[in-house]
Structure 1
Amino acid sequence: MAPVKLRIILGENNSQRLTLENGIPETVSELVQHIKSQCGVEADFRLQFMDVEFGNEFTNLTSVTEIQDKSTIKLIFDSDSSALPGGSPPPPYSAPTTSRSSDDSLSQTSFDTDILSSPESNSSRSSGWPVFFYVPRFPYDCELELGKANTAFKETGTLLNPEIRLKTAILDSLAEAIVKHKVYPADGEFEAVAEALVSSHPCLKEPGSTTGYDGWKMSLKYKLANYRRKLKRLGCPEVELNSLNNKPADKCSPAFGVKKPRKAEVNYCPAFPSGESVETLEKMRETLLSEVKKRNNEDTVAAMMDKTFAHRRQEVVRDAPMIAHFKTRWPALFCIREVTAEFKRITTVSLVSKFFSGLDAHSSDLIRVFGKKGGAQGRKIRSIMVPISQTNIINVRRECILKALCVYLNEEPKKLVKECTDADVESNQAEMKEMTFGIYAIRKEGAEPEDDPDDVGIILEGVQVLDELGNVPFAVAMLFALVYALNLSYPSELRYTFEALQKIIMELDGNRLSRKAQTLKTLLSRKSSTVE
């Protein structure tokens, strides 16, 4: 039986591919077990499927005959607790190991932890921009007026010309709903809100407008600009950091150096937890310096790192400190457990499970796309992919695909991974000191593809920030997370590779792509939809 792929919606801005190697199971209960196993969901839930007979609205799934290959399924949780993957307490620390089986596709998922359920994180957002924007309920009198107007529209097609009072109330409610997800929405997100508004209340469509909501979209942009001024006066850090008082005197312009989420960060610059201040959180940071040195103290350190997240994040975003200085101030951050936790605080997405499930889901299509490449690039890609034919170790396959991805996007894999041998230690150390961004992998001279590296680590600004990562693919995931944790920009020589990792593999802000990344995504979609 041919494998089947399903799209599983786990929550707002959180979906995942599910691969069923033996086809669709016979019962809904069996499908639920597959979802729990592959997606790491522990809470109880029921399933809904996207029903094409009712305009792609979601309908309760009572029989597996309603779904087929590439169907979309949505999880409806019975309770809010532990709803998303990783809803269990943080697991004990364990060092990464290199998988020796092609079936062990998520060997490092134990590093994903749930930190958003902590009461200390109540100043943070729990989800990003929703897949579908839900229009909030307006004040009671506005709902009555809109209900009456919607009825008239259905009966006679009469459009409502809202009074200033009604329009202001609508825009105020929408602005409050928007900032729950983003303070700086993109143009497409403004459009999604305006479209959702006229879909929910068709009487508000604008005559003479191409889309029926162009005017609403523009009004929302002005409303958000005014709303941000209000938030600034109230001390919202995400807005306050862009005030003119925080900009150089010679470049004191509202448009200069605007700091805002650019890589789908959900908690870009959060406010301090209730009852906390710079002074109290700085004292906790100083306490962390001693706590991190104690043995078997990971849970205490994790709780303190969670509570000081806003303090640390504001420091990173406002001051952009050098890596060496920041590592001295926050040494607890620079370990596998805390890097993955920090990534989840920022994006609400589980790093390791999402990274490797996304990479493995695309691997076959990526290999097919790479195989079509000709010329010097094609020859280089084929040379990189040779180890895949020599061993079935999953991490060897992943490493080859990641390096080939660099070449396919006209970038140099050596800029991502610096390969070293154990023969010349002094030369290796000198080269590492010159590295500003990348991964090093030290192997024995003459090592075979299936042999583990002696050491794999990450260097930023000449500083070794992580080591003993086990294998290159895991190091790539950690480097990707560090970009978020330290608020770094993608290096120009690897910008397309990291864009592909973010928007195609991790599905973070996957609707706005560069030409290169969009071309790759289109080719992958065509391949996955081709019947062989």
Structure 2
Amino acid sequence: MAATVKLRIILGEENSQRLILQDLPQSLSELAQHIKTQCGIEGDFRLQFLDPDFNEFNNLTSIFDVLDKTTIKVIFNSLPCSALAESPPLPFSSAPPPNSPQDTSSISSAISSASYDTDILSSPESTPRVSSWPLVFTVPRFSFDAELQLGRANAAFKDTGVLLEPETKLKSSILDGLIETILQFKIYLTDAECADVAEALVSAHPCLREPGSVNGYDGWKKSLKDKLGNYRNKLRRLGCPEVSVNALTNKPGDRCSPAYAVKKPKKAEVNYCPAYPGGESKETQELKRVMLLTEMEKRNNEDQVSLLMDQTFAHRRQEVVRDAPMVAEFKARWPALFNVRELCVEFKRITIVNLQSKFFSQLDAQSANLMKAFSRKGGTLGRRLKRIVVPMTEDSGIDVRRECVLKGLCVYMNEDPESFVKEYMSDDASSHTAMAETIYGIYVIRHEGAEPGDAPEDVGIILEGVTVLQELRNVPFAFAIFIALVYALNLCYPSEHRYTFEALQKLVLELDGNKLSKKVQALKTILAR
């Protein structure tokens, strides 16, 4: 598991706060977002860190200067907007630097003005969610008069056992309060999640239990579903992108069924189709995308690229969810996304889960139980599993073990790992043609005469015949990055390997682990023994 990181954040004179993170951020913009969220600050600022070499505060320009127990100072920007637009950019200033290769002064001006308005016009609807659906739903405090009535009714129920029959106004106030809390996590709830909310409500307020219901909350569950559906209709009319994307006006003209191409979160996405930041529009975000292309041409500019990627997240998600572009087209528009660092950050923006640390720590933790499950299989499947794990007896390296476990999981789910992880020889002229015809998968290129334990020449990922990533470290790492691509491009899992990736998502990454297919549920039961 990743080690907890503790940081001391100085917010002002005699004002400091301790910041605890599950792991180190992968970029300065991510660190800034953590500070904004957990320290409750707003506006433009830059960061300094206590340099141990000089024992003084210096400007923080690299995430690699941030270590456990580092002291970080927040310097708020008090200059007027006009002065900021003309001054050199600060690490977390909203105004991006001018682009030297081409005349982009108008772009910079438009972005600057839109970014400053963002701080003023931001709203909860335009703020990315920072929490996934809780294991235990906490009932919020309702309006003052509602809490007063519920308090008296609960006391009466405790003394006499008399249940409350809420009047229309009180019931509406309760449902409104529940929905306000629900929207902090998601807009579309499953049946089980609605049941969780209704059960939490009658547990917190026993006077609301329903005498004619088996569990005491079936009526509240139905009312909550109806209320939430009506609220989504209201949000759709107001233009909330996460629900308006499913409006009939966004369907193809020849297919008007509401069930056609429904675009809802299906893989526990926390930020599935976010709204544009307050004060921004599709046009201003498109200008930032153009600036991002220019920033990529500069050397040693990873932090500025990451900042622009963070600022254009909503634009990118609306494009990929609404338009479902081809991979080649999307890569041409967003080339910065197609590298390991940005894909992992994008996965965290969508799911708020750190991909690499979660995936490998949980995979290693489950490896022993998976190997026991493999050993219990007999027949043809058992013989295939024994052949798969042979390299583990010849090489004790962790990457070899992880690769055997992943391929064994694929075989255990009665799927073919060789149709997903394809190996080619470097001197095979036909390999390029075969790779160009591949719809999806991981390719491994080895040189002639390579031993099983030798490192491959190249490991990469192919989507729709396009080699989207190369020079990945090994096959297990490619598995993790493939999942990141599925989330970032809003793809479905490959149908021939859907159970393997369902197990990786729900049992390893623990995303939406309460709703399992029969195959994955059977595996979960075996692993829990």
CA contact (8 A) 2:363 2:508 kept: yes
Check conservation: 2:413, 2:500, Cα contact below 8 A: yes
Shift of the alpha carbon at 1:491? 1.1
Q: Which residue of 1 aligns with 2:252?
A: 248
Matched position secondary structure for 1:418: strand
Equivalent position of 1:447 in the other structure: 450
Aligned to 1:133: 137
1:352 partnered with 2:356: yes
Indicate whether 1:371 and 2:375 are aligned.
yes
Equivalent residue letter for 1:157: G
**Number of matched residues?**
433
Mapped contact 1:278–1:311 kept (Cα < 8 A): yes
Q: Residue 502 of structure 2 is aligned with which of 499, 502, 507?
A: 499
Partner of 2:334: 330
1:386-465 to 2 correspondences below 5 Å: 386-424=390-428, 426-465=429-468
Task: Go from structure 1 to structure 2 and tell me whether the alpha carbon gap of 1:44 and 1:196 turns closer, same or farther (over 3 Å shift).
Answer: farther
Question: Residue 44 and residue 208 in structure 1: after superposition, are their counterparts in 2 closer, same or farther (change >3 A)?
Answer: farther
Output the CA distance in 2 between the equivalents of 1:225 and 1:317: 21
* TM alignment of 1:150-165, pairs within 5 A: 150-165=154-169
State whether residues 437 and 465 of structure 2, in contact with CA within 8 Å, keep that contact through their aligned partners in structure 1.
yes
Letter matched to residue 197 of structure 2: V
Which residue does the alignment assign to 1:61? none
TM-score normalised by the chain length of structure 2: 0.79
- Contact 1:42/1:87 (CA < 8 Å) preserved in 2? no
Bigger drift between 344-353 and 245-254 goes to 245-254
- SS across alignment from 1:251: coil
How far apart are the structure 1 equivalents of 2:17 and 2:478? 35
Shift of 1:470: 1.4
Higher mean C-alpha deviation, range 272-281 or range 298-307: 272-281
Asked whether the equivalents of residues 5 and 21 of structure 2 are also in contact (C-alpha less than 8 Å), the reply is: yes
Larger radius of gyration: 2
Look up the equivalent residue of 1:348 and give its one-letter code.
I
TM-superposed deviation, 1:450: 2.5
- Give the corresponding residue for 1:219: 223
1:250 Cα deviation from its structure 2 partner: 3.0
- Render the CA deviation track for 1:159-210: whole Å, top value 9, x for unaligned: 1000001000001111111111111011100000000000000000000101
Using the alignment, how far apart are the partners of 1:422 and 1:87 within structure 2?
Answer: 37
2:6 equivalent in structure 1 = 43
Matches within 5 A, 1:65-84: 81-84=19-22
Residue identity matched to 1:297:
N
* In structure 2, distance between residues paired with 1:125 and 1:452: 41
Q: 1:197 to 1:129 in 2, by over 3 A?
A: same
Q: Tell me how far apart the structure 1 counterparts of residues 360 and 385 of structure 2 sit (CA, whole Å).
A: 21
Aligned residue number for residue 468 of structure 1? 471
CA distance in 1 between partners of 2:204 and 2:404 (Å): 48
Pick which of 271-280 and 338-347 moved more. Answer: 271-280
Is the alpha carbon distance of 1:324 and 1:216 closer, same or farther for their aligned partners in structure 2, counting shifts above 3 Å?
same
CA contact (8 A) 1:396 1:449 kept: no
Q: Distance in 2 between matches of 1:157 and 1:272?
A: 50
Question: Aligned partners of 2:186 and 2:302: how far apart in 1?
Answer: 32
Does the 8 Å CA contact 2:373/2:527 hold for their aligned counterparts? yes
Show structure 1 runs of 4+ deviating over 6 A: 118-122
How much does 1:90 deviate?
4.9
Determine the structure 2 residue equivalent to 1:383.
387
SS at match of 1:212: coil
Distance 1:285 1:130, change over 3 A: same
Deviations 1:347-379 (A, max 9, x none): 000000000011001000000100111111111
| Matched residue type, 1:427 | S
1:263–1:509 contact (8 Å) kept in structure 2: yes
Q: Is 1:516 aligned to 2:515, yes or no?
A: no
Aligned match of 1:279: 283
- Measure, in 2, the Cα distance between the counterparts of 1:336 and 1:462: 19
Q: 1:85 aligns with which of 23, 43, 51?
A: 23
Q: Which residue of 1 aligns with 2:190?
A: 186
What is the aligned-residue identity percentage?
60
Contact 2:29 2:303 in 1 (8 A): no
What is the CA–CA distance in structure 2 between the aligned matches of 1:501 and 1:448, rounded to whole Å? Answer: 29
Structure 1 residues 60-103: Cα deviation after superposition (integer angstroms, max 9, x where no partner): xxxxxxxxxxxxxxxxxx968444433474599xxxxxxxxxxx
CA distance in 2 between partners of 1:172 and 1:457 (Å): 49
C-alpha distance in structure 1 between counterparts of 2:401 and 2:26, whole Å: 30
Distance in 1 (CA, whole Å) between partners of 2:463 and 2:260 is 27
Question: What SS does the corresponding residue of 2:468 show, helix, strand or coil?
Answer: strand
Superposition CA RMSD, Å: 2.1
State which of 294, 306, 315 in structure 2 corresponds to 1:311: 315
Shift of 1:524: 0.3
Measure, in 2, the Cα distance between the counterparts of 1:227 and 1:404: 46
Task: Find the aligned partners of 1:139 and 1:84 in 2 and give their Cα distance.
Answer: 35
Structure 1 residue runs of 5 or longer lacking an equivalent are: 1-37, 46-77, 93-109, 527-532
Query: Is contact 2:7-2:20 (8 Å) kept?
Result: no
